[in-house]
């Protein structure tokens, strides 16, 4: 059997479409599996006006159910008098059967009472109305609405329902909307309503009615038509993938057209114009081959042909938008960016953490400490000036009017240059926001790196300090993103700074401001754990083995440069043929000695076997060089020294009984193993590494 379901609606927001189709597919799969109904494939299609799914090779009936449920053991289910106990009676009731229907089941563990059930599968057609009705009613959206006198909530008002199995109607009703065998074509270029006699007939007619229900097909058609009809020689079009997805889900049939705007607007920075086109109007900007914006754009019409009226209408709307942008820009240039700093005293960052101005003052103090630790004194003036101006554009006309919020940082950099600030400060203002999202570019200038770090660590520690810790989906200050940003910035910039030190600096400064609501030590531990989780994720994503990452971090190493160095060396030595067998031996060393609480002083006179003497000599020699190796951060030699002890350790376990009858000898051997384990774990806890 084949199934088709179409839910027709008023146009839903583009961002709702794919999640709704995914939910339809996942929920239907779950329901069919729970109802023991087999199928081959579920496909979904969608436009702003319709959600569609089809199922192929649906089984004619449910699979029969033949199951056995075991209850309590026989001696528990029956008393000495042979009558059922409360446990036995309770089991029978839970299975919905009489006590006489219980059976004694032989199992490898003995005799148990059981209940056998046989339920013959029902015809699938009889179940479909309920399944599909519940499927539609169960859809949820990030924002839903009620309409008319209906009780149900949906993304937009439902207009029609089509449901069929092969050539038959599946009858059900939702809030007065009854299923039928009719659908609707394109709103402007299709039939208002058309009948279908089969599923194939639906697919043929929907296409003839100028509705492209396949999302990927619509998307590819937009790109193809733009490249074919909208690009002239010497031009290129910015086809942003996110914008392309949005536009694809706004139309049922795309038709790209080229529009123009007054070239006078090009005096405004082109990023402002591009943002206005992409975000506000969903247009694709056109550039020359050097990357300069041209006074042209592409708008995708919901139709099958062009229209001068549609083109002119879009040009007028864009002109109004760009006029606003030009006005804001010109007004902002009438005064230097630094004049905005005073206004930040009246902009609250968070009521308990103070204003943005106060936050910047804390950031400058954090920066001074970081500069001292990392040796960037020559850059101190630029860095502190970058921090001072980093949020000044938030109260500019361009950003403060909420029209162009995506340009924060970029406008600050532009206005800084126009105000006479140096290039380094300008670049730092823009870069301190990077990375803004996963996969975004990273700050490259030291001004942008340190400003971004100070801003994020103040936010992170401050919010934890007043008890605003992310939970579930609630993260109003994007602390997870801030923490990940901190780790990625340090990692990519190779900044030689300890995460622990960074937290402590911020905590001390927040304490001076008197904003902390919790004990410093508790805040420190919470923030450190929060950041370490991001460190693990970042290194694993970079391709390092998770057990290696955990092993290195377990020795409380929070300098990411050192962590990466150790991980690289571990990766290299793990290819040694002796590595896996050595790891097994080290685990044995750790396991045997982990509970030893006695003295760690090893007495040479108690060493009896040659193998334990050899192990002691290996330990002594290693101990003698270990401090020097660690002081030089020579982790490669350190790990190689561990690797060189494989045969000695192996020989010890082959020929020495650790748990000797003589208590002194036993404790001496445990002390040797315990000391050896401690020595091995100074760079990484190799007991956490898995042998492959």
pLDDT in tens, 38-50: 999 999 999 999 9
Closest CA to 502 of 560, 457, 435, 455: 457
* Contact indicator for 631, 562 with CB cutoff of 8 Å: no
CB burial of 646-677 (b: ≥16 within 10 Å; e: otherwise) equals: bebbbbbbeebebebeeeebbbbbbbbbbbbb
Check whether 23 has a pLDDT greater than 90.
yes
Q: What is the CA radius of gyration of the chain?
A: 35
Tokens 């304490």 belong to which residue? Answer: 511
Please state, in angstroms and rounded to a whole number, the distance separating the CA atoms of residues 450 and 181.
64
For 467-500, write each residue's pLDDT tens digit: 999 887 788 899 999 999 999 999 999 999 999 9
Q: What DSSP character marks residue 674?
A: H
DSSP string, 575-627: TSTTHHHHHHHHHHHHHHHTT--S-----GGG--SHHHHHHHHHHHHHHHHHH
Residue 598 banded pLDDT, cuts 50, 70, 90: low
* Contact indicator for 402, 266 with CB cutoff of 8 Å: no
Check whether 129 has a pLDDT greater than 70.
yes
Residue 601 banded pLDDT, cuts 50, 70, 90: confident
Determine the average pLDDT of the residues in 294-317: 96
Give, rounded to a whole angstrom, the gap between the first and last alpha carbons of the chain. 48
555: left (phi over 0), alpha (psi -120 to 50) or beta: alpha
Residue 76 banded pLDDT, cuts 50, 70, 90: confident
Q: What DSSP character marks residue 253?
A: S
* Contact indicator for 55, 45 with CB cutoff of 8 Å: no
Question: C-alpha distances in angstroms, 672 versus 376, 598, 645, 663?
Answer: 46, 11, 14, 14
Determine the average pLDDT of the residues in 310-333: 94
* Stronger pLDDT, 36 or 171, i.e. the higher one: 171
Check whether 692 has a pLDDT greater than 90.
no
pTM score of the predicted model? 0.76
For 527-546, write each residue's pLDDT tens digit: 999 999 999 999 999 899 99
Reduce the secondary structure of 469-491 to three states and give it as a string.
Answer: CCECCECCCCHHHHHHHHHHHHH
For 185-227, write each residue's pLDDT tens digit: 999 999 999 999 999 999 999 999 999 999 999 999 999 999 9
Cis-peptide into 435, omega within 30 deg: yes
- Neighbour tally for 294: CB within 10 Å: 19
Determine the average pLDDT of the residues in 168-178: 94
* Contact indicator for 429, 384 with CB cutoff of 8 Å: no
* Contact indicator for 50, 9 with CB cutoff of 8 Å: yes
């Amino acid at each position: 059997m084949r199934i088709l379901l179409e839910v027709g609606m008023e146009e839903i927001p583009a961002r709702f479409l794919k999640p709704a189709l995914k939910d339809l597919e996942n929920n239907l799969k779950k329901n069919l599996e729970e109802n023991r109904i087999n199928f081959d494939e579920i496909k979904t299609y969608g436009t702003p006006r319709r959600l569609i799914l089809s199922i192929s090779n649906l089984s004619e009936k449910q699979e029969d159910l033949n199951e056995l449920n075991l209850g309590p053991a026989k001696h528990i289910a029956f008393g000495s008098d042979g009558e059922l106990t409360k446990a036995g009676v309770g089991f029978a009731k839970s299975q919905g059967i009489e006590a006489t229907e219980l059976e004694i089941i032989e199992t490898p563990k003995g005799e148990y009472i059981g209940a056998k059930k046989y339920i013959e599968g029902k015809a699938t057609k009889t179940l479909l109305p309920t399944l599909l009705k519940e499927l539609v009613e169960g859809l949820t959206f990030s924002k839903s609405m009620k309409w008319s006198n209906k009780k149900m909530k949906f993304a937009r008002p439902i207009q029609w329902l089509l449901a069929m199995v092969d050539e038959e109607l599946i009858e059900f009703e939702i809030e007065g909307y009854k299923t039928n065998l009719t659908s609707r074509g394109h709103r402007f270029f299709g039939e208002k309503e058309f009948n279908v006699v089969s599923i194939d007939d639906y697919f043929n007619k929907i296409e003839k009615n100028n509705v492209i229900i396949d999302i990927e097909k619509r998307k590819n058609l937009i790109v193809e038509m733009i490249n074919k009809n909208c690009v002239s020689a010497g031009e290129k079009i910015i086809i942003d993938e996110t914008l392309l997805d949005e536009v694809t889900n706004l139309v049922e049939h795309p038709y790209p057209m080229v529009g123009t705007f007054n070239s006078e607007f090009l005096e405004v920075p082109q990023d402002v114009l591009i943002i206005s086109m992409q975000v506000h109007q969903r247009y694709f900007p056109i550039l020359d081959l050097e990357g300069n914006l041209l006074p042209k754009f592409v708008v995708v019409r919901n139709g099958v042909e062009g229209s001068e009226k549609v083109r002119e209408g879009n040009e007028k709307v864009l002109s109004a938008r760009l006029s606003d942008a030009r006005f804001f820009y010109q007004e902002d240039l009438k005064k230097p960016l630094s004049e905005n700093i005073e206004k930040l005293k009246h902009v609250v960052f968070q009521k308990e953490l103070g204003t943005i101005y106060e936050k910047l003052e804390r950031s400058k103090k954090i920066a001074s400490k970081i500069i001292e630790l990392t040796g960037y004194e020559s850059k101190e003036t630029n860095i502190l000036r970058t921090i001072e101006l980093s949020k000044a554009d938030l109260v500019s006309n361009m950003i403060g009017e909420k029209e162009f919020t995506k340009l924060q940082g970029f406008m600050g950099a532009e206005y800084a240059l126009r105000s006479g600030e140096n290039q380094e400060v300008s670049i730092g203002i823009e870069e301190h926001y990077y990375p803004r999202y996963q996969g975004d570019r990273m700050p490259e200038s030291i001004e942008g790196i340190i400003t971004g770090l100070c801003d994020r660590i103040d936010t992170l520690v401050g919010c934890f300090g007043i008890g605003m810790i992310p939970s579930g989906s609630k993260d109003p200050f994007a602390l997870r993103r801030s923490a990940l940003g901190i780790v990625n910035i340090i990692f990519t910039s190779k900044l030689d700074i300890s995460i622990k030190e960074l937290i402590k600096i911020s905590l001390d400064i927040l304490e001076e401001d008197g904003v902390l609501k919790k004990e410093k030590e508790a805040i420190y531990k919470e923030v450190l754990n929060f950041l370490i989780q991001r460190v693990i994720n970042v290194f694993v994503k970079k391709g390092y083995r998770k057990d290696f990452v955990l092993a290195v971090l377990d020795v409380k190493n929070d300098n990411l440069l050192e962590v990466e160095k150790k991980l690289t060396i571990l990766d290299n030595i793990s290819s040694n043929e002796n590595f896996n067998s050595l790891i097994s031996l080290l685990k044995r060393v750790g396991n045997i000695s982990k509970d030893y609480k006695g003295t760690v002083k090893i007495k040479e006179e108690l060493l009896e076997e040659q193998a334990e003497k050899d192990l002691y000599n290996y330990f002594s020699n290693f101990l003698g060089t270990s401090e020097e190796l660690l002081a030089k951060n020579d982790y490669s030699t350190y790990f190689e020294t561990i690797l060189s002890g494989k045969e000695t350790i192996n020989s010890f376990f082959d020929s020495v009984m650790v748990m000797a009858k003589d208590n002194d000898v036993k404790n001496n051997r445990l002390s040797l193993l315990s000391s050896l384990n401690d020595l091995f774990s100074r760079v990484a806890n190799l007991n956490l590494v898995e042998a492959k």
